[in-house]
Chains A and B, each alone.
Chain A
């Protein structure tokens, strides 16, 4: 792994069109700005485990489907 030291307002450039900026450092928290094209996915790593956990919980649902009180215009014709 490449390890770089950066100060607030300094940046890291990855490839031709990704820039990482160090916006703010407060205690053990760092605010980071990511400038990347739309085709590059940028997510907090925890998001994936949250969605994985949500899928796992959903797959263990009890099959007792409630009757929803949908507004009249949303009911199935």
Chain B
């Protein structure tokens, strides 16, 4: 299928690879269907809404900069996306890239990560109660901390 995207223009998506978030994302409840597209440079991806080309999130594998990251998923959420065992799940964190003149850092949201069942391509945004995981983790700083 042909899809319209915010950052990559018009592109082709294999319908089998369409992601469905039955509950949407918080604040974006009306956007249910997405495409996960490789961004340049890696390791970023675009999570592009299929219902509105202007709704697109930049996402990253959170374990790349926080190998100690843990996801505690509620059983209701596991049922929603039919996950029985951890290996079925892929985890992504939504990234915020502020404008350069804002002086703010590139951050990732680890309090509200996305969990996707890679076999069924369904996903949901979960909420974590562990106080270690916040909505703004400085990706570059934590990558450097990890190297020490």
Bind each other: yes
- A37 → chain B closest CB, angstroms: 9
Q: Does A1 have its Cβ within 8 Å of any Cβ on chain B?
A: no
Task: Find out whether the CB atom of A58 lies under 8 angstroms from the CB atom of B147.
Answer: no
Q: Measured between C-beta atoms, what is the minimum distance from B37 to chain A in Å? A: 12
Interface residues on A, range: 20 to 34
- Nearest residue, chain A, Cβ from B96: A58
Taking a contact as CB atoms under 8 Å apart, the answer to whether A70 and B143 are in contact is yes
Say which size band chain B's interface belongs to: 35 or more
Note all chain A residues with C-beta closer than 8 A to B25: 55
Contact B43 A51 (CB under 8 A): no
B124 to chain A, nearest CB (A): 12
The interface stretch among A2-10, A18-26, A61-69 is A61-69
Is B125 a contact partner of A63 (Cβ separation < 8 A)? no
Chain B: which residue is nearest A60 at the CB level? B96
A57, A61, A68: the one contacting B43 at CB < 8 Å is: A68
Q: How far is the CA of A21 from the CA of B117 in the complex (A)?
A: 36
Which one of A62, A63, A68 contacts B143 once the chains associate, using CB atoms below 8 Å?
Answer: A68
The reply to whether B64 and A54 contact each other, CB–CB distance below 8 Å, is no
Check A59–B55 contact: CB distance below 8 A: yes
B97 cross-chain contacts in A, Cβ below 8 A: 61-66
- With known contacts A59-B55, A68-B43, A47–B111 Cβ distance under 8 A: yes
A-B contact pairs, 19 of them (CB 8 A): A38-B74, A38-B75, A39-B76, A43-B127, A43-B129, A50-B111, A51-B26, A51-B125, A52-B26, A54-B96, A55-B25, A55-B125, A56-B27, A62-B97, A63-B97, A65-B44, A68-B140, A70-B143, A71-B147
